[in-house]
A and B are shown apart, each in its own frame.
Chain A
Amino acid sequence: MGVRPVSQASVAFWPMTDRHVDTVELAAASPDLPQPWAELGLRDDEYERIRTILGRRPTGCELAMYSVMWSEHCSYKSSRVHLRRFAELPQETPLGKTLAGIGENAGVIDIGQGWAVTFKMESHNHPSYVEPYQGAATGVGGIVRDILAMGARPVAVMDSLRFGPLDAPDTVRVMTGIVAGVGGYGNCLGLPNIGGEVAFDETYAGNPLVNALCVGVLRHEQLHTAHASGAGNLVLLYGARTGGDGIGGVSVLASETFTTAGDGLSGGPTKRPSVQVGDPFMEKLLIECTLELFAEGLVSGIQDLGGAGLSCATSELASAGDGGMRVRLDQVPLRDSSLAPEEILMSESQERMMAVVEPQHVERFLAVCARWEVEATVVGEVTTGNRLVVSWSEQTVVDVPPRTVAHDGPAYERPIARPAEQDALQADAAERLPRPRTGAELRATLLRMVASPSCADKSWVTNQYDRYVRGNTVLAPPADAGVVRVDEQTGLGVAVATDGNGRFARLDPYAGAQLALAEACRNVAVSGARPLAVTDCLNFGSPEDQAVMWQFERAVQGLTDGCRALGLPVTGGNVSFYNQTGDTPILPTPVVGVLGVLPDVARRVTPHFRFAGQAIWSLGDTRDELSGSQWALVEHGHLGGLPPVVDLRAERALVELLWQSADAGVLAAAHDVSDGGLVLTLVESCLRHGVGACVRLPAGVDPTVALFAESAGRAVVAVAPADEQRFAELAAAHAVPCARIGVVTGADPEPTILLEDLFSVSLAELRTAWEATLPAAMHGEATARPRRAGGSEPAAV
């Protein structure tokens, strides 16, 4: 796919730019000139604050910089007061102090043997609705550059996606584009996609979620940070040229609702040019080129250009350094020579990086870039003093204290109010809904459940992603976590999982955030890895809605308390507000990413049963908990009640048991119990290798609860008969409740899941139901799937 042409962005915002450059001198001389601060998303008091900081009106360029950097997306002005709680957690993983934490482009943690890992998740929700392919693609590109800017080689990506109902009119367009965009960018970039999630709810129909995660690895000594130090050092911009795409993207797209911004669908002027376009080929060159620059020791400081483009990179680099910075904006290589200086500062053209380089290294720096055919240009220098000064044709167009742009943006204590209807919602418990009673009813329920969009096979999505490139992928979908090898000699590797459940968070945002955290930890632990650190992507509605702010505050507190109880730091993350359609916010969706370590990836555990005779054990307690469950959704279209109880002490014990059992080599398979309950876990564990299971549910438990409840803190494991004694001892030592519930059965006469005294169902019937849902919805009649080999020639195309 080539880069799509970008239509010209309107330049009407800038009354003076066509013929006159708005300089600092002019600004001082014309204090009363009307300026478009409101159109750029600034409030009147924010505009006044800029005037106070500068002691005059801002120039057009300064206004551009402040408006994008003080936007919700860049300044976290509504969330900052709450996010401080993450920073108050001990900045320590179970293996030691974090090497870089919140505030850097991404957190960096020690995984032993001299290796470090950096990982982070970021949202690209709004652009992905307006332009699904490019929105999702550039979401991947942006997070990959964040990881690269830490000095790390990006080694894997994941994506957590939320869409409207599969049968909603716009879902096919949005989902096809987003999945193709994630794949198109990541595949061409050469990063394996090792996991993620796909979920559906009507509140995402007009506001899909695209949360992209990237993992990078580095040796401890390779850590780089974003700061510009040492007067006389040069500032280089390298990578793609700057064009008119994504101008004001952060302020216009990410910080307003679609109805007010005008999305082209509701009658307002189209904002399509505000979505960036991606060039993964350039990003691949940028990665290899940057890693070579690091390896040769040519980089003093580095920053990627993402949201807010040059405004962000220059102000953040300068404010993190020990001096000021001078930038000659007319040196920036352009794709479109008609761009005004304000637009150059705001452009979010992709695949660009900014580096601070000592003068004696510049020649070599340029040579490395030339080898990779990456354009590099000296655009400025680090200065003494503490001003960020930007010039255009020898005239000063920006002269600001960089910290006021990058860090001293407004911070709001938004009003918070628990919504009045929350009590009624929580009182409307799903436990009171009618339940299937007979074996036949339970069997039919199971078949509807496996075919439901959120439980069904996701390979229509994951088969569009390269999971093999780089040759270090140890686990990928449908495993619970992605696992990649870091060191070929020792087998050191990392596991990553992302989880989030907006339905639970809607019922109780505090518990919902903790449930997401606990599930991600379990998914890492069932893979055999020890959880070490947390990243998050907090997707919520408008912060100006007091009920949404309440959800947000509760979720942050829940996540903080959860991390403290589990002994994990939050090393970075992202907040996405204004996810709503009209006045209806999305389900509050805190997505949590957990990273764990395996000293030897050969000890990894898969979720798949393999051999007849393996014993099936259930771990953890099952309670009468159906509210917020997939069962309540699929069978009753219901959302109400209280989510499953969170017992962090029990979660911690289960996680310890799982990774230690894996390390001891006693687990043949292990699978988290979550969406759909125990029976969905069993089905998924059987399907991969086509084996059956014979299971006896505990006596005295209602079968609907035993099969479909989504109680937290549970997993199913398979254990070889010879290891059962040892496993039981480990479970007892960790005080994890466990029960031997059955045995893996073979394929004779055909693989079948038998629930004693209730029903049996063949794997073939389950597989048909499980596999059909997504292809049927995306293609109508599954016509465009790969065809059988040995058939006739295809008909004319």
Chain B
Amino acid sequence: MRLGVVTFPGSLDDVDAARAVRIVGAEPMRLWHGEHDLHGVDAVVLPGGFSYGDYLRCGAIARFAPVMTEVIDAAARGMPVLGICNGFQILCESHLLPGALIRNEHQQFVCRDQRLRITNASTAWTNAYEPGAEIVVPIKNGEGGYVADSATLDRLEGEGRVVARYVDVNPNGSLRDIAGICNPGGTVVGLMPHPEHAVESLCGPGTDGLGFFTSALTALLARA
């Protein structure tokens, strides 16, 4: 099973995402932003970071990288795609997911161990969790406030497409405490917190993040 991790100029958590893939027993495949080639991977992770420095709107330039043409095509065909943090921003900019991520309500970058509730445990990236499971993974962002118009938010909630919500503390002012959402098929998931930083008990707040990566393997196996 090969999971691709895209490196854009300014990607930072690509090494972490690749490590998480390796830890769950899959083969990480590094994908380069400038290539129109997914190298035959079975799923794609768009990692965190500051692609192109986030000097324009976050994710707005990365969305036009050559590799994104292939990612968007593959996503349309049902390939599992996980966008973490900057990757979530890129998915929104690519219109693979609705809404947008804006500067944190309190105007500061925030890094903390964040409690989340998994509100949809049937996506390609969350099927390893029990519905309603609470997990702790790091969050770290300056522009992580999820926003969309009320109709979109109502539709996301009505269709069960809110994948995770913040519990106890809403770290960035996201509307309705939304931490992650998915496409109608549950294959494309965008998540502001960082499950790839919670895959080893030694480096991070625990191993609660592993489920996102094992979920993808389960989803792919079910398909095979």
Contact = CB atoms under 8 A, between A and B. Distances in A.
Interface of A: 1-3, 180, 183-184, 187-190, 279-282, 284-285, 372-373, 462-474, 485, 488, 601-602, 784-791, 793-794, 797
Contact of A471 (B53, B105, B167, B203): B203
Interface in B23-55: 48-50, 52-55
Given A187-B142, A281-B55, 14 more contacts: A188-B54, A284-B50, A463-B111, A466-B111, A468-B138, A468-B194, A786-B112, A786-B170, A787-B170, A788-B169, A788-B170, A789-B177, A794-B173, A797-B105
Interface in B158-203: 165-173, 175-177, 194, 196-197, 199-200, 202-203
Contact of B55 (A2, A284, A472, A797): A2
Contacts of A180: 108-109
A190 B111 CA distance: 13
A791 B9 contact: no
Question: Which secondary structure dominates chain A's binding surface?
Answer: loop
Contact of A470 (B15, B106, B166): B15
B152 interface: no
A793 B19 CA distance: 37
28 contacts: A1-B54, A1-B55, A2-B55, A183-B109, A187-B50, A187-B109, A187-B142, A188-B50, A188-B53, A281-B10, A281-B55, A285-B10, A462-B111, A463-B112, A464-B108, A465-B111, A466-B109, A466-B140, A471-B15, A471-B16, A473-B204, A474-B202, A602-B202, A786-B170, A786-B173, A789-B165, A790-B167, A791-B170
Nearest to B7: A288
Contacts of A602: 202
B52 to A, nearest CB: 7
Interface in B127-149: 138, 140, 142
B109 A464 contact: yes
Contacts of A791: 170
Nearest to A188: B50
B66 to A, nearest CB: 13
Contacts of B208: none
A88 to B, nearest CB: 40
B76 interface: no
Contacts of B93: none
Interface of B: 9-10, 12-13, 15-16, 19, 48-50, 52-55, 104-112, 138, 140, 142, 165-173, 175-177, 194, 196-197, 199-200, 202-204
A180 B109 CA distance: 8
A190 B12 contact: yes
B177 A786 contact: no
B106 A786 contact: yes
B112 A190 contact: no
Contacts of A188: 10, 12, 50, 53-54
Contacts of B199: 471
B16 A373 contact: no
Contacts of A784: 105-108
A372 B7 CA distance: 11
Contact of B9 (A189, A373, A463, A787): A373
Contact of B49 (A190, A462, A786): A190
A786 B54 CA distance: 22
Contacts of B203: 468, 471-474, 485
A184 B111 CA distance: 12
Given A184-B109, A466-B111, A470-B15, A280 B169 contact: no
B170 A464 contact: no
A789 B167 contact: yes
B140 A280 contact: no
Nearest to B176: A793
B29 to A, nearest CB: 18
Given A1-B55, A466-B140, A789 B110 contact: no
Contacts of B104: 786
A89 B54 CA distance: 46
A684 B204 CA distance: 20
B162 to A, nearest CB: 13
Nearest to A285: B9
Nearest to B138: A468
Nearest to B56: A2
A470 B108 contact: no
A532 B167 CA distance: 43
B166 A468 contact: no
Given A188-B50, A190-B12, A788-B169, A468 B140 contact: yes
B171 A469 contact: no
Contacts of B169: 786-789
A474 to B, nearest CB: 6
A789 B170 contact: yes
**B109, B138, B203: residue with the most chain A Cβ atoms closer than 10 Å:** B203
Give me the 9 closest cross-chain CB pairs, A-B, nearest first. Answer: A281-B53, A190-B12, A784-B106, A471-B16, A468-B197, A789-B170, A188-B50, A789-B166, A786-B171
Max chain B C-beta neighbours (<10 A), residue from A280, A372, A789: A789
Nearest to B168: A789
A505 to B, nearest CB: 32
Contacts of B49: 190
B103 to A, nearest CB: 10
B64 to A, nearest CB: 14
A786 B110 contact: yes
B170 A284 contact: no
Given A187-B142, A466-B140, A471-B203, A794 B10 contact: no
A793 B146 CA distance: 12
A469 to B, nearest CB: 5
Contact of A281 (B9, B105, B109, B166): B9
A601 to B, nearest CB: 6
Nearest to B18: A471
Contacts of A468: 16, 111, 138, 140, 194, 197, 203-204
Contacts of A786: 104-106, 110, 112, 169-173
B104 to A, nearest CB: 8
Contacts of B50: 187-188, 280-281, 284
Contacts of B177: 789-790
Contacts of B197: 468, 471
A787 B105 contact: yes
B9 A464 contact: no
B199 to A, nearest CB: 8
Nearest to B200: A471
A781 B54 CA distance: 31
A722 B171 CA distance: 41
A469 B168 contact: no
Given A463-B110, A602-B202, A281 B52 contact: yes
Looking at A188, A468, A785, A797, the one whose CB has the most chain B CB atoms below 10 A away is: A468
A187 B166 CA distance: 22
Contact of B53 (A279, A464, A794, A797): A279
Nearest to B205: A468
B127 to A, nearest CB: 24
Contacts of B48: 469
A550 B111 CA distance: 43
Nearest to B150: A793
